[in-house]
Amino acid sequence: MPMMTQQRVTETEGEFAYYIHRIKEEDIGSIHKRKILGSKSKGARTIKQIKDGDKILFCVSFDIKQRATLSFVGYGTVKDVFDEEKQRSGTSPRKIRIREVRYFKEPILVKNVANDLEFIKRKDKAANYLKSIYKKISAEDFKAVVKGRKATSSYPDHLEKRIYTTEEVLIDSVYGLFDLLKITMKSDMIEIKSFIKYLHKLVNAYGLSKSYEEVEKFYSENAWRFKFEHVKSKDVDKLVTLYDNHGNSISFAYIKLR
């Protein structure tokens, strides 16, 4: 297991740029495994400014006592950037590959460091300055968050416990829906988009508040885990981009049920 170390920021301030990337709680595991970041907004501008060597802080909104609480959970260094030819409709083709994520031993509440961050002008309204998916910040603000903090490349227990229930429900729902459709459907195949629509209704019935886009993203990034047989189509309107365990993408239209 990697040793816990104290982070020292040694790069010169003008050499690299610094950003905050706001992510959803359920996306942390995917980022840890794939080391790839993106943006749901096709017209996103800030993501296009990010380059090799830049530093990115990860900010997550946790539900604590039924209130959304923003926390910094770690940071990463950009390895390279690339444009993906095939991506989900409406999303930016620009992707960012990071070297690794360094996790803080404990989440850092934004409100606890707001007084040290220059970009947060109104300290009692810190969340208002972190609404965008990517936000450029100064080297000083980056250092104010990471300096002296213990960090590790190992996935921390406090995050593992938080995402376990959500991921478990989603995975069980995929398998359960597949088995149900296998029994009840006359056809040997189902469109992936139809499968995801059913899955979206199912997980929300279980009490998980997820949009169709979020469920599609989960299935796209985790389809390789289920080992279902997927079938291509010449009809581009039916295609859904799926990823393998290395982050490579390929488009399919159907799931084989039998």
Give start and end residues of each alpha helix (H) in the chain: 28-34, 46-49, 110-113, 139-146, 157-184, 192-205, 212-226
**Interior angle at CA 59, CA 121 and CA 73, nearest 5:** 120
Quote the CA–CA distance of 32 and 54 in Å, as a whole number.
18
What is the CB-side half-sphere exposure of residue 244 using CA atoms within 13 A? 5
> 84-143: per-residue pLDDT in tens?
876 555 677 889 999 989 999 989 999 999 999 999 999 889 999 999 999 999 999 999
CATH number for the domain whose boundaries are 5-155: 3.10.590.10
Beta bridge partners of 68: 63
Instruction: Write down the residue that tokens 């993906």 correspond to.
Output: 84
pLDDT of residue 1: 45
Tokens coding 80: 């390279």
> 158-209: per-residue pLDDT in tens?
777 665 567 778 888 999 999 999 999 999 999 999 999 999 999 888 777 7
The chain-wide mean pLDDT, for the chain, equals: 86
pTM of the complete model: 0.61
